[in-house]
Chain A
Amino acid sequence: MPSGALTDERDVREAYSAHASELYGFAVRSLGDSGLAEEAVQETFLRAWRAGERFDPQIGSLRTWLFAILRNVVIDLGRARAARPTVSDEGIEASIEPFDEALLSWQIEEAMRRIGDQHRRVLVETYYRGRPYAEVADELGVPEGTVKSRVYYGLRALRVVLEEMGYED
């Protein structure tokens, strides 16, 4: 058994406090339902615990492993739903994007949350809202050059955060 394997309940508790909020945030985004997301996260940790002996930190991070398990859980959930397209009870229906696209989106959104407000703000205004730099500069009461440099440092910060999160191209 590799050292670091997820075999006792304390390991699971530690894994939970380190990664549950990320897994849950992603599960909510991907499943569109907080109740289903809770079940998905619960199932993920149960499967992780049951397969705990197979986890080897030499091969990949715990985070990557947990996301891989969550991926299977969400796919199982999606498959179960796809088999019954006619169901329309409240709380059961939820949109399910293809997992990898949803995971990519979620990682970028999470990275955006983690960079500074000033950086996020100029990226939102100039990139997502497509507003001219001069207008954004006016609104923020800073020179246009400052908006430009914040865009630069914002993208850099995003890159660093994505790397920290284990984003792999």
Chain B
Amino acid sequence: MKTDGCRHWKEELGAYALGHLSGEERAALEAHLEGCPACRAEADSLFAVSRLLPHADPERFGPAPQPPAELGRRIAATIGSERRSKRRQRRLRLGLGFAGAATATAMAVLAIFVLSSGSDGGPEQHVAFRDLPSGVRIAATLEPQAFGTEIHMYVKGVSSGTLCRVYMRGPGGDDVSAGTFRYRWGADESAVLSAALDLSRAEALVVHAGKRTFVAPLDRGEATDSNTPQEEEST
């Protein structure tokens, strides 16, 4: 059967699938559907679509937001550096004859961990803040310098433009300012700050991000080299 003859009926099918036909129109159309498998199949497939419509929000039919241009570059850069460090790890593993070193990378998230690199410039400390709001990540690397401590701050997950003020807490609870920076979405670089306090004497790293304050105690026992802390009990 030529379906051209059904054209009138077909054009009713949209309104039919949306439940917009009057009783009379519907009765006439349904009488036609009884005898026309092609129109019936078309009606079924339109019902499959019309059933989906309630799930959409017409307020959201406008242009969809587009990812910022730098997101692609950032992902490429992260992958590039991950690939390079993987390669380095592989070399290291081969060199040391490690077999099951892969498991060594399994590590508790947001626990404070301290690494002593012990290479040039003395031991640096890696600090991760715990008990953060979900979605927020704050971490830092502290390097002892002649002037005090160099701080590489890494913040993620707070609002773009948030003002962050960083302090190092010395013995006795005195905070020494390390400066300020603003967190921007997309800027994946760490902020480099400095404080005139020896890392070996620092008790904690304090970050005020917007209205919130985060404190990460520093592990002085392992991070310090020859200088033993003088006021271990003070908080």
A77 at the interface (CB under 8 A from B): yes
- B28-47 near A? 1/0 per residue, CB < 8 Å: 00000000000000000110
B50 at the interface (CB under 8 A from A): yes
Chain B: residues with CB nearer than 8 A to chain A? 10-15, 17-18, 20, 45-46, 48-50, 52-53, 55-58, 60-68, 71-72, 74-76, 78-80, 82-83, 133-136, 156-160, 162, 185-186, 210-212
With A41-B67, A120-B61: A159-B14 Cβ-Cβ less than 8 Å: no
Number of interface residues of A (CB under 8 A): 63
Q: Which residues of chain A come closer than 8 Å to B159, judged between CB atoms?
A: 35, 89-92
* Nearest opposing residue in chain B for A103, CB measure: B55
Q: Separation in Å of the A142 CB from the closest CB of chain B?
A: 13
Query: In the complex the two chains form, what is the Cα distance from A133 to B18 in whole Å?
Result: 12
Q: Which residues of chain A come closer than 8 Å to B157, judged between CB atoms?
A: 35-36, 39, 92
Chain A: residues with CB nearer than 8 A to chain B? 9, 12-13, 16-17, 20-21, 24-25, 28-29, 34-39, 41-42, 45-46, 49-50, 77, 80-81, 83-84, 87, 89-92, 101, 104-105, 108-110, 112-113, 120, 123-124, 126-129, 133, 145, 148-156, 158-159, 162, 169
* Nearest opposing residue in chain B for A148, CB measure: B15
Q: Which residues of chain A come closer than 8 Å to B62, judged between CB atoms?
A: 113
* Nearest opposing residue in chain A for B58, CB measure: A128
The listed residue (B12, B74, B134, B156) touching A148 by CB distance below 8 A is: B12
Q: Which residues of chain B come closer than 8 Å to A46, judged between CB atoms?
A: 75, 78-79, 82
New contact pairs (5) apart from A38-B67, A39-B157, CB-CB < 8 Å:
A84-B134, A89-B136, A92-B133, A105-B56, A108-B53
A154 and B14 within 8 A (CB): yes
A148 and B55 within 8 A (CB): no
B67 and A89 within 8 A (CB): no
Q: Separation in Å of the A39 CB from the closest CB of chain B?
A: 7
A38 and B15 within 8 A (CB): no
Query: In the complex the two chains form, what is the Cα distance from A89 to B158 in whole Å?
Result: 8
With A9-B80, A20-B72, A149-B11: A110-B135 Cβ-Cβ less than 8 Å: no
Q: Separation in Å of the A4 CB from the closest CB of chain B?
A: 18
